């Protein structure tokens, strides 16, 4: 006869010793086990006890198929003091088996204990009985398993953890909105501590598991951290679209540095303001991480302290622009012969020469007949200037200077050099306002969804006139121009504002030409009034208005001269 594989015993005699031949079912789950143990029945009442010394007792420990001999349990021997040794009984010889696995379901997004009990089709009290973990309801994670019946909890097979890539980078994962480290650890056969160790201090934007950033990459194995995903519109750091991972050791924060060595924020924006330059990085955080409560932190070229890279020049220069076109105004006009009466100027620029759009030769427009007197100035370097704001931006002329510099640079440079020699002029100044500025769009700050400060577009007919290659084209033209003019000077006028200057490869230009005139008077002006992005720490944008002169100002200046 065969019985289910459960503890088999009965009580025999007045001492209630264990006897074989009776099935005692422990619970309904164990009774469902299909394995059986063959047992021979015998008349226990008439069988004599045996202490086992005869060798007629057969043990079944460790197997579920042995046959018990038709012998009585071993007799309890007496000790010397008359007591008996306690015998473990038949239960010591029978194998113990794990309970069956409970009926289970998996937790999905939005589940709570109430919804899980409903899915199981059981009462809430039964759900608690089958899932006795004290804080289960407050710690449920997507992907967990819960029991819908009695039995052992379901443990899914543990997957093999992701392996490091052959190139030494880690197995990367793009963080989703609902991800947690506990859920990822279960899904990928890891522990939370392992995930922390793979990312702490090296993964972009990683502080700890509790503050993972959705949309960023993380590591699920040992190895070098991945680059973060590209973010449209960024200018600096590893999130700039098209960034390639360098070979060998590198620092993510040094990738795509800002022009002019400006500060780079963790969101990938360049600028000179506190939002770009102030450091709010947490101790031990990975690159690109910021402290809670701050909108941003600087990641490269941080700080805005004034740095002295060199001492003062051996000789100072004083430069003036002679406005040859402006003798018709009501006050403060000046003839060329009086431009340097006190001898304090070292350089005098003629503003402005023009360009023939067919031959690309120099054209002197001189309605007030001042050119000859200008050339005769003594004790000062006489410089001819091209461009200016109007000539660089107005519909009739903006494309003349662009084409001269970009598409006709060799011809234009040759013609300038020839003009300097023919007119015995000491140098040339280019005032192109401004290469490349309108290419950059107005950016949205990802943390605040506000407009990131940018230079306003320079438009003609509603179309931006700047292009991304303007700065490099300007450098090529100036390099060729300097080579052609030889010992005569080449200079440019450059904006003092970061937003306009950022398109200039100014460090490379400075290495080619003789000097740069920074237009510091254009830092702010009437055009900035009401522009909240024009000033730092001026929410209204109405902090500075003064620019230019009224007739009253002219009169005051003339009277005080």
| HSE value, Cβ hemisphere, 13 Å, CA-based, for 136 | 20
List of E strands, 242-285 = 263-265, 270-271
| b/e sequence 318-343, b meaning 16+ C-beta within 10 Å | ebbbbbbbeeeeeeeeeebeebbeee
* Rounded-to-integer distance, Cα 491 and Cα 183, Å: 63
Q: Does domain 104-147 have CATH number 1.10.510.10?
A: no
Q: What is the pLDDT of residue 490?
A: 98
Architecture (CATH level 2) of domain 319-523:
Alpha-Beta Barrel (3.20)
Contact 426, 486 (CB under 8 A): no
Annotated active-site residue in 235, 323, 433, 452 = 433
Please give the distance of CA 37 from its chain centroid, rounded to a whole number.
65
96 contact partners, CB below 8 Å, separation of at least 6: none
Stretch(es) of the chain classified as CATH 3.20.20.80 = 319-523
Give dist(CA 447, CA 295) in Å, integer.
Answer: 6
Name the 3-class secondary structure at 273.
coil
Tell me the C-alpha to C-alpha distance, in Å, between residue 173 and each of 13, 207, 337, 454. 69, 16, 73, 34
Give the C-alpha separation, 440 to 305, whole Å.
Answer: 27
Chain Cα centroid distance, residue 19: 74
Residue 525, H or E segment: none
H or E stretch including 400?
Answer: helix 398-406
Residue ranges of the chain that CATH labels 3.10.350.10 = 104-147
* pLDDT in single tens digits along all 561 residues of the chain: 444 444 444 444 444 444 443 444 334 433 333 344 444 444 444 444 444 444 443 333 333 333 333 344 444 445 555 545 445 554 444 555 667 999 999 999 899 999 999 999 999 999 999 999 999 999 998 888 999 999 999 988 889 999 999 999 999 999 999 899 998 998 999 999 999 999 999 999 999 999 999 999 999 999 999 999 999 999 999 999 999 999 989 999 999 999 999 999 999 999 988 999 999 999 989 999 999 999 999 999 999 888 787 888 888 999 999 999 888 888 888 999 999 989 999 999 999 999 999 999 999 999 999 999 999 999 999 999 999 999 999 999 999 999 999 999 999 999 999 999 999 999 999 999 999 865 444 444 555 544 454 556 788 888 888 888 999 999 999 999 999 999 999 999 999 888 889 999 999 999 999 999 999 876 777 777 887 766 667 788 787 655 544 433 343 333 333
Whether 433 is catalytic: yes
CB contact at 8 A, 105 and 119: yes
Q: What is the Cα–Cα distance from 133 to 146, expressed in whole angstroms?
A: 10
> Using CA atoms in the order 377, 382, 385, 389, what is the torsion angle rounded to 10 degrees?
-60
Can you tell me the distance from the alpha carbon of 128 to that of 293, in angstroms, rounded to the nearest whole number? 40
Q: CB burial class (10 A; 0-12, 13-18, 19+) of residue 357? A: middle
Listed in sequence order, the residues at least 6 apart from 179 whose beta carbon sits closer than 8 Å to its beta carbon are: 212, 214
Cβ of 209: how many Cβ atoms within 10 Å? 19
């Amino acid at each position: 006869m065969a019985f289910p594989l459960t503890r088999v015993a009965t009580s025999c005699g007045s001492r209630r010793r264990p006897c074989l031949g009776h099935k005692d079912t422990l619970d309904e789950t164990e009774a469902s086990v299909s394995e059986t143990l063959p047992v021979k029945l015998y008349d226990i009442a008439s069988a004599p006890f045996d202490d086992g010394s005869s060798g007629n007792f057969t043990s079944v420990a460790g197997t579920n198929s042995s046959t018990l001999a038709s012998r009585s349990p071993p007799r309890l021997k007496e000790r010397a003091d008359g007591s008996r040794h306690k015998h473990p009984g038949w239960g010591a010889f029978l194998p113990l088996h794990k309970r069956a696995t409970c009926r289970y379901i998996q937790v999905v997004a939005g589940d709570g204990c109430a919804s899980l009990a409903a899915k199981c089709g059981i009462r809430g009290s039964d759900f608690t009985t089958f899932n006795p973990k004290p804080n289960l309801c407050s710690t449920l994670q997507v992907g967990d398993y819960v029991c819908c019946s009695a039995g052992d909890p379901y443990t899914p097979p543990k997957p093999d953890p992701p392996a490091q890539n052959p190139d030494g980078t880690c197995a990367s994962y793009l963080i989703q909105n609902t991800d947690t480290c506990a859920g990822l650890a279960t899904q990928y056969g890891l522990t939370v501590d392992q995930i922390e160790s793979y990312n702490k201090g090296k993964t972009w934007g990683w502080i700890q598991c509790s503050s993972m950033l959705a949309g960023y990459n993380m590591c699920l194995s040992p190895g070098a951290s991945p680059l973060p995903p590209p973010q449209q519109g960024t200018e600096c750091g590893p999130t700039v679209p098209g960034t390639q991972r360098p070979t060998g050791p590198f620092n993510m924060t040094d990738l795509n540095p800002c022009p002019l060595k400006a500060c780079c924020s963790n969101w990938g924006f360049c600028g000179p303001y506190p939002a770009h330059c102030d450091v709010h990085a947490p101790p031990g955080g990975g690159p690109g991480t910021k402290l809670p409560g701050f909108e941003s932190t600087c990641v490269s070229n941080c700080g805005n302290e004034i740095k002295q890279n060199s001492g003062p020049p051996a000789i100072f220069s004083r430069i003036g622009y002679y406005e040859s076109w402006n003798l018709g105004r009501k006050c403060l006009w000046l003839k060329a012969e009086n431009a340097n009466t006190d001898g304090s100027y070292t350089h005098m620029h003629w503003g402005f020469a023009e360009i023939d759009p067919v031959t690309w030769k120099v054209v002197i427009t001189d309605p007030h007949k001042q050119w000859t007197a200008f050339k005769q100035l003594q004790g000062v370097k006489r410089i001819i200037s091209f461009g200016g704001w109007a000539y660089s931006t107005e519909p009739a002329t903006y494309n003349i200077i662009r084409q001269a510099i970009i598409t006709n640079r060799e011809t234009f440079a040759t013609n300038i050099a020839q003009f300097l020699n023919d007119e015995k002029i000491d140098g040339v100044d280019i005032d192109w306002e401004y290469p490349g500025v309108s290419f950059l769009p107005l950016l949205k700050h990802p943390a605040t969804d506000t407009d990131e400060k940018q230079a306003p577009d320079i438009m003609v007919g509603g179309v931006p006139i700047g292009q991304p290659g303007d700065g490099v084209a300007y450098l090529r033209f100036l390099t060729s121009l300097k080579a052609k003019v030889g010992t005569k000077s080449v200079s440019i006028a450059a904006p003092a504002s970061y937003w306009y200057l950022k398109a200039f490869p100014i460090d490379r230009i400075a290495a080619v030409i003789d000097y740069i005139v920074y237009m510091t008077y254009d830092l702010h002006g009437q055009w900035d009034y009401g522009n909240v992005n024009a000033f730092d720490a001026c929410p209204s944008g109405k902090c500075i208005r003064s620019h230019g002169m009224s007739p009253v100002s002219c009169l005051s200046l003339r009277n005080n001269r």
